[in-house]
Structures are given as structure tokens and as C-alpha cells.
Homo-oligomer: A and B are copies of this chain.
């Protein structure tokens, strides 16, 4: 069974990724490698860690689905028998840190040289622009999975690349541009992707 999320990203079971020989080669420091985890897994772990330590309250929103048919078997839980994936109208993660509203989208790419902008929906860009207007913090967390590199990119920088595409320019952001405008996050053990300390720089 495979699950296709509305963003077109295919759900890949952990086992499959772990046995990928190309990935194995890169993992020199096993304890800090991503061990086949998706970026979503890593961010959920990180947010749980922040929550436990009282550092922030940030959650991933549920995948939006349109429920069409539900059955009620006797003596057991209701079963959804027909439903469809809906396009998300916002970003995936939001919450509160240090009195500030936090809002971000997380995406990974297997690409080694650039981040394709087709990974982001136009309404997500509009959403983040509105968040900024209301003085919330908006950003992206991007993982280059093949390179084991993570970046936090403030929305303003990202918006520039988006607008460049809308004006007929390139349909991706180069790794060099992300290195220049974002901040690299070095993955660790606890928390996995320690993005909170970087947010002070965005305020």
C-alpha cells in the first residue's frame, strides 16, 4: 500500500528507505543520520521534544480529507469507507513560541542542486504572506535528502524566488541561493532538527 499525499509526494515506508544502498553509503555517523525517517517524522520528534521541555507548542495539522461515507459497525468504532484528499489551504505546521505565532511548511527533495518550486502551492505562499502581515513568523524548512542537508529559509527570501518564477524566471531555487538566504540546520539527536534558536534572527 502506498499513500499519495495531496502535494504529490509519495509515502515511502521506512524499511524501503533503510535498505536503499545509495543512502547507506552516506551514513558515516549513524547516531546522527536520518535513518530513513521522513522530514515529517523528524519534525514531529523535534516538536514533541520542544513540547516536553516547555520550549514551544507547535503541531503538525492533520491531512485534510473530504469524508463522503462512514459506516457504524455494531460494537466497534466508526469506519470511514470513502474519503478524498483535499488540497491544504494553509501550511502544515503552526503554533506558539515565545509569545509569537509560528507558521511553516516543510518539504524535502531528492534533487542535489536545487529545490523545485512545484513542491509549494500558490495558496500556501498567500497564506504565509498574510501571516507576515499580522506579525507572525513564517518560514520553510527544506531538506535535501540525498545530501543530508537541512535549511531554514525565511518567507521573505522564499517569496523573492516565488515571484521570480511568476515573472517567468526559473522554476526552482538553487542550492547556492538557499545557502545564501537560509540558515543551515545541523541535524542532531535531541532535538533532531533544532530550528527554534534560529528564529531569533528572523524577528
A residues adjacent to B (C-beta < 8 A): 1-4, 51, 54, 56-57, 59, 61-65, 67, 69-70, 72, 77-86, 89-90, 94-103, 127, 130-131, 133-136
B57, A127: Cβ atoms closer than 8 Å: yes
Within 8 Å CB of A85, what residues of B?
77-78, 80
Known: A4-B70, A61-B62, A70-B4. A134 touches B79 (CB 8 A): no
Give the top 9 A-B pairs by smallest Cβ distance, nearest first.
A99-B135, A96-B101, A62-B64, A80-B83, A96-B136, A101-B101, A62-B62, A96-B134, A57-B130
Copies of this chain, complex-wide, total 2
Known: A3-B67, A79-B83, A80-B83; 17 extra A-B contacts, CB below 8 A, are A4-B78, A57-B127, A59-B89, A61-B62, A62-B63, A62-B65, A63-B65, A77-B84, A78-B84, A81-B81, A83-B83, A94-B94, A95-B101, A96-B101, A98-B134, A98-B135, A99-B101
Known: A65-B62, A69-B1, A90-B59. A130 touches B54 (CB 8 A): yes
Instruction: Name the distance in Å between A163's Cβ and chain B's nearest Cβ.
Output: 20
Can you spell out 11 A-B residue pairs with CB atoms less than 8 angstroms apart?
A: A2-B70, A61-B61, A62-B63, A62-B86, A65-B65, A77-B84, A80-B80, A80-B82, A96-B103, A96-B135, A96-B136
